């Protein structure tokens, strides 16, 4: 499976599971976080976290600065691992721009919702908005990702696929 397929399935699955969980359980404040699976490629193979549910080390809130910091770390790790050439830099820059623009879309969606407790219809609306925003962001990232992937050498593609698959 390609990086994009794994990323798409993982993000949409995590958002759906988390959205339904957030809608049906608890409050929409700091104690009931919007979470996504930390390891996008894991498909929950480590369960809910370190035995502590979505709040364990394997889970992380979508609507806070951790998302941005994590994206920056992942992008730096990919760039360092692939040893990009000067000819590959424009495609890498376009991908970075798309990732950050997608992140801004999610940040904007997060900011439009109050963090205090909401009635069930409002919570469901938030779930719908976050899922739609996540899908829009993913659609924005896909073309530059495909262009970036196309300029990689076979060895770089294999390294990226392995990096994403195994998170090493």
Helix or strand run (H / E) with residue 105: helix 89-111
pLDDT digits (tens, 9 = 90+) for 38-59: 333 433 334 344 444 444 444 3
The pLDDT of residue 2: 52
Query: Is the separation of the CB atoms in 76 and 97 below 8 Å?
Result: no
| β-strand partners of 60 | 36
Work out how many domains the chain is built from and give that number: 1
pLDDT of amino acid 24: 39
Is the model's pLDDT at 148 over the cut of 80? yes
What average pLDDT does range 16-39 have in this prediction?
39
Is 23 within 8 Å of 120 (Cβ atoms)?
A: yes
Cα–Cα distance, 28 to 129 (Å, whole number): 14
Place of tokens 């801004």: 104
Q: How confident is the model over 64-77, as pLDDT tens digits?
A: 767 788 888 888 88
Distance CA 106, CA 67 (A): 10
CA atoms of 126 and 81, how far apart (whole Å): 37
Question: 61 phi and psi, to 5 degrees?
Answer: -70, 140
Band (166; pLDDT cuts 50, 70, 90): confident
Percentage of the chain exceeding pLDDT 90:
32
- pLDDT tens digits, one per residue of 77-96: 889 999 999 999 999 999 99
What's residue 11's pLDDT? 55
Percent composition of the chain: helix, strand, coil (DSSP 3-state, to 5): 65, 5, 30
Domain with 32, as residue range(s), is 3-166
User: Average pLDDT of the chain?
Assistant: 71
- CB-CB contact of 37 with 14 (8 Å): yes
On the question of pLDDT at 138 being above 80, the answer is yes
pLDDT of residue 3: 52
Q: How far apart are CA 27 and CA 46, in angstroms?
A: 25
pLDDT of residue 26: 37
Q: What are the backbone angles phi and psi of residue 146, rounded to the nearest 5°?
A: -65, -40
pLDDT of residue 118: 74
Phi and psi (nearest 5°) for 103?
-65, -40
Q: Which residue has the higher pLDDT, 66 or 159?
A: 159
């Amino acid at each position: 499976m390609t990086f994009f397929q794994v990323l798409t399935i993982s993000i949409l699955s995590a958002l759906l599971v988390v959205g339904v969980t957030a809608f049906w359980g608890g409050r929409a404040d700091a104690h009931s976080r919007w979470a996504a699976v930390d390891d996008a490629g894991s498909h929950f193979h480590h369960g809910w976290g370190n035995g502590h549910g979505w709040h364990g080390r394997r889970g992380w809130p979508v609507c806070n600065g951790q998302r941005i910091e994590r994206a920056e770390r992942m992008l730096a790790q990919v760039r360092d691992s692939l040893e990009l050439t000067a000819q590959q830099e424009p495609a890498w820059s376009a991908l970075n721009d798309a990732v950050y623009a997608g992140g801004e879309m999610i940040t904007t969606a997060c900011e439009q919702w109050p963090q205090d407790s909401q009635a069930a219809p409002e919570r469901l609306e938030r779930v719908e908005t976050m899922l739609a925003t996540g899908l829009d962001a993913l659609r924005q990232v896909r073309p530059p990702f495909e262009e970036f992937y196309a300029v990689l050498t076979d060895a770089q593609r294999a390294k990226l696929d392995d990096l994403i698959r195994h998170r090493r």
